[in-house]
Structure 1
Amino acid sequence: MTEARDNYLLDVAASRRGYAINRLCGSLKDPENRRRFSEDEAAYCDAYGLSEEQKKAILERDWTGMLELGASIFYTFKLAMLDQKSMQYLGGVFTGMSTEEFMAAMRSGGRNFG
């Protein structure tokens, strides 16, 4: 699993790198695609042309790895929702905190992560 940090830059280069992974995650807004993905995640990844590294990140739910591979948090969150994970959960993952710690940090003023 990739080490957490609190700054992921989604610039043009990252967006190009993450195009396939963002396309896959974006497709999960459709109920039929969510069903197909859930039935065979690996085949669904193959259908979207993910690199082996991207596919591994999706299948292992390596959330920070996805961002480092160019995924956008907005698309990644669609996959997290399929897994019934909250945005606060992801915030904790991305900053190396538990969900509860992340929520407390947000309530106490935000980006004071230590």
Structure 2
Amino acid sequence: MRYVVLIAYEPGGWAEASHEVRQQHVDAHHAFERYVDEHGRRLSSAALSDADLATTIRRDGGGSDVVTDGPFVELAEQIGGYYDVELPDLDAAITAGRLLPRAYTVEIRSVVGVEGYESL
């Protein structure tokens, strides 16, 4: 099965984090990656820029688009990165997700096909 693991966090903590806390986060990500590599495979992963650097396209009912700087909604947490992985089942994805830093909220979503749509 293919899963996207979304990593949400409260902004601002990384800049103030000690070297030890930062290393704990790095070690947790490496534990996650080792687990996935042993039980499935990583397709891609990336850290994302902060939400205040996002660009949002809002669509109105009249067919116009408004492009603005910043996130779509104000959030206490924001998505800071993701992993796109293949693992045998949801239980394995949950086990892997639990290896990520405890300061994160981890959301796991299965990737689904959309009938009539094929990616180019």
The answer to whether TM tops 0.5 is no
TM-score norm. by structure 1 comes to 0.26
Higher helix share: 1
TM-score norm. by structure 2 comes to 0.25
**Greater RCO (Cα-Cα under 8 Å, separation 6 or more):** 2
Higher strand share: 2
